[in-house]
Each structure stands twice: as C-alpha cells, then as structure tokens.
Amino acid sequence: MSTITTDYLIIGAGLAGLSAAKDLQQAGCQVLLIDKGRGLGGRLAGRRIGDATFDHGAQFMTAREARFKATVADWIDAGVAQQWYSSYPGQPNGHPRYRGVPTMTAIAKHLAIGLNIMLCTRVQTIAQEQHGWLASLDNGDTVYASKLLITSPVPQTLELTKSIEIPADMRARLERIQYESCIAVMAVLDGPTAIQAPGAIALEQGPIAWISDNQQKGVSKIPAVTIHGSGEFSAANIDRDRLQVGQQLIDLAAPYLGDARVADYQVHGWRYSKPSIVDPDPGLLLSSDTEMPPLAVAGDAFAGPRFEGAVQSGWAAAKMLINAKN
C-alpha cells in the first residue's frame, strides 16, 4: 500500500475529466486522473464482437460554442473526427453531426495524450484532510491531492461525497439532477441493413430511440447495428435479464434490418446515460464559502446534457479550481 501525492486529482477519465486535465496541465499544474473503466472516455464507449465494431455509447457530437467548434476542427485535422451527416431521410437539416474516427473513443484517446491516467482503478472513498483530499482506491493505495475534481454521474458523486459536509444548497442542487437510462444492443448481422444513408435513424415514439448502422458509419468492417432503447423503455427494463430485453429490441428493429439476420449480440445497460434534469451552472465549486480544500464537480449534468456540454464543463471546472483560494 502506498500514497501517491498530486496537486490535482480528477475522478473520471470521461470527456469532462480529460478536458479539465488538459487545461490544468496546460496551465502548468500536476494532474492525476483515475478511472474505474478498462478504457478511456466513459460514455464514449465502443466494443468489438469478432470482426464487428460498435459505438455503443455516444453516437455523435454537435458543436455550437466557439471554443468547442475550434476544438472539433483540431480533432478533424488530427484525423480523430470527421463530419458524419447533417440530416437524414425524413429529418430536416440540423447541426452537423461529427463522429470519432475510427470510433468515438478515438477522441478520448487523443485527449489523453500526455496525461497521467490510472485506469481499472475505482476511488472507493474520499476524506477531507486539513489542506487537501485523501482518496482511497480499490487496489489499497491512497492518493493525497490538494484539489479534487469529481466527474462521475452525479448520483455516484453523491454516494462518494456522502461523508463530506457539502453545503446544503449545493447538495440540494446535486440531488435535483436526474438521468435517463439506456439499454444498448450491439448486434452483428449476416448482411447489410435496410437503413438508408447515412446509416442512422432516430425514432420519436416506442421502445426504440435510435438505431445506427456501424458499417455505413464507417466504424465496422462487417454489418453491425447499435440499437438504443428509449428512456422510458430502458428505465422499465434495466433490471430485467439483459439478453431477453436485447432480443425484444432486436425483434422490434426488424423492419430496419431488412433481410439481415442477427448472428450474435450483446447488451449493455447504461443506468445513467443522458441527464434529463441538469444544473444551470457549467460546474460547481462545492468548497466555495466553506473551509474545505478546493472541491469541484463537473460533467454533462452541468454545461449541457451531451458530448459538448461535458467538455465545456471540464473546461469550466479547471478554471474554478485554478482560481479556488482555500
């Protein structure tokens, strides 16, 4: 058992954590990121089944704000992003949709270059010390950090901070935040789907919210679809047998699969997929107006319930922590 010391500890190497770390490191700070996942990127998840490749978390990003637009342009130059589409049959032109290349996780891997990241490691508890924070890890080690940023989905953040005296108004704001669930089915097919270019369908009603054709998208070498259950369907079925629920969604997706048959499939349940109730601020400095060492929370529940919001929240939290006085 050992204790690692760092200036900044960031819990979560999803988009918010990675974006915050990038800005902090740029400002000359010493940063350590810790994530319980095997891979980087959190909800930008991908998976392989044999020769099939899937984006099964976030499917695309939109870019509205100037700094984020410039960042997407940098990712395109670096070859880790490209425009996927701006409209599809039956849908009017909207914001251009950008995808990661070859998969969404490529963007997380690009952001992670040069950062100090510990994967497959869960922060089990955090405790307040006189001038910093002590995080206990599931491998028995501890991390002592002067400043702490937590970017897990907010219900998990509340669990992690339950022994810390967060001001009541801040805790109430965190408790208001809510998320949709999403059951994601990854199905390998024996032939092409009936989905028209660009290979995506969003459905307004019914148990399926989204189907994407990973082969048309350019993610998979062989036919492979991702099917997302709607928020309502996913919440009602998240604790049922996953393969049965997956089969139900596959059956409902039949009209979009054409003559293709499902050769294999896996199912992932996202209990916290996209926030449905968000906080109006881009991040919260929980330690402001307290004697606590600097502690901030960030993620897509703050600057907007999507890819772009998570990045902007990370940037905002980095600024808050740099300026935090305690």
Ligand X SMILES: Cc1cc2nc3c(=O)[nH]c(=O)nc-3n(C[C@H](O)[C@H](O)[C@H](O)COP(=O)(O)OP(=O)(O)OC[C@H]3O[C@@H](n4cnc5c(N)ncnc54)[C@H](O)[C@@H]3O)c2cc1C
Q: Which residues bind ligand X (CB under 6 A)?
A: 11-17, 34-37, 42-44, 57-61, 122-123, 151-153, 156, 160, 182, 184, 228, 270, 273-274, 299-300, 306-307, 310
Give the integer Cα–Cα distance in Å for 309 and 50.
Answer: 33
Q: Which is nearer to ligand X, 52 or 183 (CB)?
A: 183
- Least distance between ligand X and beta carbon 97 (Å): 8
Q: Which is nearer to ligand X, 171 or 271 (CB)?
A: 271
- Least distance between ligand X and beta carbon 34 (Å): 5
Q: Which is nearer to ligand X, 260 or 310 (CB)?
A: 310
**Cα torsion through 219, 231, 169, 290, rounded to 10:** -20
Q: Which is nearer to ligand X, 122 or 171 (CB)?
A: 122
- Least distance between ligand X and beta carbon 158 (Å): 11
Q: Which is nearer to ligand X, 44 or 267 (CB)?
A: 44
Phi, psi of 304 (to 5 degrees): 135, 140
- Find, among 259, 239, 237, the residue nearest to 249 by Cα: 237
Using the structure block, give the residue that is written with the tokens 């901030």: 296
Q: Which is nearer to ligand X, 259 or 320 (CB)?
A: 320
- Least distance between ligand X and beta carbon 243 (Å): 18
Helix axes 66-77, 307-323, angle to 10 degrees: 110
Give the integer Cα–Cα distance in Å for 301 and 311.
Answer: 11
Q: Which is nearer to ligand X, 12 or 132 (CB)?
A: 12
- Least distance between ligand X and beta carbon 230 (Å): 11
Give the integer Cα–Cα distance in Å for 105 and 276.
Answer: 23
- Find, among 248, 263, 310, the residue nearest to 282 by Cα: 310
Q: Which is nearer to ligand X, 36 or 173 (CB)?
A: 36
Give every CB contact of residue 175 below 8 A, 6+ residues apart in sequence.
Answer: 158
- Least distance between ligand X and beta carbon 120 (Å): 9
- Least distance between ligand X and beta carbon 259 (Å): 27
- Least distance between ligand X and beta carbon 180 (Å): 9
